[in-house]
Amino acid sequence: MTKAPKGIDIPSEWEDVIPKIESKGGTVLLLGAPDTGKSTFVRFLIDRWTRQGITVGIVDGDVGQSMLGPPTTVGLGMCREPSEPELISMRFVGSTSPYGHMLATVIAIKKLVDKAIKLGAEITLVNTTGLVHGDLARRLKSQKIELINPEHILALQRNNEIEHLLAPYQKEGRIVLHRLPVSRTVRTKSVQERRAFREKLFRKYFENAESRGVYIEEIATQATQLGSGKRLASSDLNFLSKVLKTHVLYGERSSEGILVITNGNHFEEEVFRIKRHYDVTEVSILNVDGYRNLLVGLNDSDSNTLALGIIEDLDLKYGKLSILTPLSSSAEVKAVRFGSLKLTPSGKEIGKVTHHD
């Protein structure tokens, strides 16, 4: 038998589960509340299996306390050596929690599990967030399971705190469930520690970032209304400025209605005049400040995230977004996916904008 990674306490049940998974291989989903040792267990399994010559794919679906890639992304690593996994692909989901981004999270996990299998993973480990209570957790986990169709579920629990998530699969009997104890040596993290961990990852990520310009008319925009319509002329902006009694910087008309971006407080009372003028039912009025510091994903044509970026500024006269990013060339960028988290280049989370799936 090979040695365990240094300093890790290995309950005997952890050892026992290894041959049971090895014999079947396939996709393995890890479930557990926060601070139950999920990431540590993943590292232990990677170490053990790569020493035996097994190729292990790791899909890090924890968008907060990430093991692979910056927070807000689902990351993929392919492990052939017993060392810390390295990121080979990632998908930005929008925030450090799946709230409001459940579909993006589930899709990202599915896409990366498929990619791991395609790249030759004999066992694919899927790590998850510690979100296990409440309706969102129930829906998130069940949809994930339905999509990725794992052969095994590894459930780390102190008592029976995630039995409610396991119950349907216990009854169905297709997926092999492995219930595992939490090591007594687990160290719990406070909310502040979790935030500081994310801040450190973000700071390192944006350390050598530079500003790059992206033109709204040349690139696809996702998870935002901006860029989905036809730009309004300056005569329209003058009309809108008068009606809203503020400085309107930009406007678009789409089949959804009118999008207006201002740089001041607007006057709501006469929005009906805009609806009447353009014969639309929807008018969205946003302040340009809402976009500043917003975290975005710079994606290729398949929604793989090439890099994250922070919107520094919008030059709406030219439809240009200035984005701070470590990406050296924006040539491959085909889409900008808007998130809901606001971030400073030093990694501080300074707010969230509302976002719904």
3-state secondary structure 115-152: HHHHCCCCEEEEECCCCCCCHHHHHHHHHHHHHHCCCE
Q: Which one of Mg ion, ligand ATP, none is in contact with 186 (Cβ closer than 5 to 8 A by kind)? A: ligand ATP
Residue 335, classed as helix, strand or coil, is: strand
Select from ligand ATP, Mg ion, none the partner in contact with residue 9, using the beta carbon and a kind-dependent cut-off of 5 to 8 Å: ligand ATP
Interface with ligand ATP in residues 188-227 (CB under 6 A): 189
The distance of closest approach from Cβ of residue 241 to Mg ion in the complex, given in angstroms and rounded to an integer, is 49
Cα→Cα distances 51→30, 41, 58, 126, 224, Å: 21, 15, 16, 19, 45
Is residue 88 a contact partner of residue 344, using CB atoms and an 8 Å limit?
no
Q: Which residues within the stretch 223-282 sit at the binding site for ligand ATP (CB under 6 A)?
A: none
What tokens were used for 347? 């990694």
- What x/- string results for residues 60 through 79 when contact with Mg ion is judged by CB under 5 A? -----x--------------
- 340's tokens: 């809901």
Residue 250: CB minimum distance to Mg ion, A = 41
Residue 39 or 222 having the CB closest to Mg ion: 39
Q: Which stretch binds Mg ion (CB under 5 A): 36-44, 203-211, 238-246, 254-262?
A: 36-44
Query: What token pair was written down for 291?
Result: 């976009």
Among Mg ion, ligand ATP, none, the one that 185 touches (CB under a kind-dependent 5 to 8 A) is ligand ATP
Applying CB under 6 A, which of residues 17, 27, 32, 248 lies at the interface with ligand ATP? 32
Neighbours of 33 (CB within 10 A): 19
- Give the one residue of 39, 50, 105, 340 binding Mg ion; rule: CB under 5 A: 39
Taking the complex as a whole, the smallest distance from the CB of residue 199 to Mg ion amounts, in Å, to 17
> Where do runs of H (alpha helix) occur along the chain?
12-22, 38-51, 102-118, 135-148, 163-172, 191-206, 234-244, 271-278
For residue 28, the cross-strand partners are 125, 152
Q: Which is nearer to Mg ion, 38 or 212 (CB)?
A: 38
Min. distance of Cβ 268 from ligand ATP in angstroms? 43
Provide CB contacts within 8 A for 309, sequence distance 6+. 209, 212, 295, 296, 297, 298, 323, 324, 325, 327, 336
Residues that bind ligand ATP (CB under 6 A): 8-9, 32, 34-40, 62, 65, 130, 183, 185-187, 189
Residues that bind Mg ion (CB under 5 A): 38-39, 65
